[in-house]
Structure 1
Amino acid sequence: MRISADHEISYRSWPFYWLARASGRYRARMEELLRPTGLDMARWRVLMTLHQDRVASVSEIASHAIEKLPTMTKIIQRMESDQLVRRQPRPGRERVMEVVLTEAGELAGEQAWEAATALYGQAFAGMSASDIAQLTALLERVAENLNGAPSAESP
C-alpha cells in the first residue's frame, strides 16, 4: 500500500490498525472487568462522563460517549429505571434534560473506576507520564483532524 510517492506502508505500520487493536482489546478487557459490577460499556461511558462533569444533558453524554442520541436516550432510560441516574429539566432551558447520578450511580461509578484504574495501569505499564501525555495529545489531534469533511490538502 502506498500513502504517497515516498511513503509505503504495511498494515502493521498503519496507525489505524493499532488504534483498532488497542480499542478492541480495551473494550474486551473493560467488559470483563465491568461484568461483576453489573455494568456494560455504554453505562460505563455515561458514568465516566457524569463522574467528570457531575451533570450533563443527554446529547452532551452522547457526544462524549460517541453514541447516537436515540441510542443514548434508551441507555439513560434503562439506567434511570435501574436508579443509577435521574433526569431533570435544565434550569432556564426546560426542554433540555440533564442527567445526574443517584447515590446508587455514584457507588456503581466508584466500582467501575476501580476496574478502569486497574486496566489503565496494565495498558500504560512501562510508560512515563510524558509518554502518556504525548500519546493523548497525538490521539486528540488525530480525532480533531478526522472531525468533519476531508480538506483539499488531505491525501
Structure 2
Amino acid sequence: MSGPFIGYSENAVHNNRVIIPAAFKRKFAEEANRTVVITVGPLNSIALYPLDSWFATLDALAKGDEIQRRFRTRLIDCAVTEAELEGPGRIRIPERQLAEAGIKDSVIVKGEMHYITLWNPDDYYRLRSQNLEANLKEYDTNIYQITGL
C-alpha cells in the first residue's frame, strides 16, 4: 500500500497544479497507478488518496461502526475526481476545490500516513502553532523516552 507519507512542504500552485514532493512520489505503490482520488479533507483541507489507499480506506470504513460508515459515505459523496500524476509529479486540482480550501498561489502539501492533504498555508501554520503550543503544555521530555523499544 502507498505511504507512509510523513512531513510537509510548501509549494507554489501554478495553473491549478500542485507539485507532490519527491519523497511522497517515491512512496506511491505500483497498485496506485500514479493516481489519486481528490476528496474533502480534515479542517478545510483537500485530501488526496492514492488509488490503492482509497480502496483500502473505503473497505476498512465499511467494516467500522456507524460513524465510520457515515464518514465513508461522506468521502465518497465529496470525491471530486481521480487525477493522475503528470510529468514530474504534479496533480491538477479542480479550481472549485482550491477555492473552497482557500488555496491560491501557495499550498502546504502534508503527509497524513496513508493519504496527503493540501492546505491554505495561513490555515496550516495557525493550526500547527496551536498544536505546538498544546504539545508544550501537555508533554515534557519524559514522554519522549519510550521504554521497551
TM-score, normalised by the number of residues in structure 1: 0.28
Q: Counting helix residues as a fraction of each chain, which structure ranks higher?
A: 1
> Which one has a bigger Cα radius of gyration?
1
Greater length-normalized contact order (CA 8 Å, ≥ 6 residues apart): 2
TM-score, normalised by the number of residues in structure 2: 0.28
Q: Counting strand residues as a fraction of each chain, which structure ranks higher?
A: 2
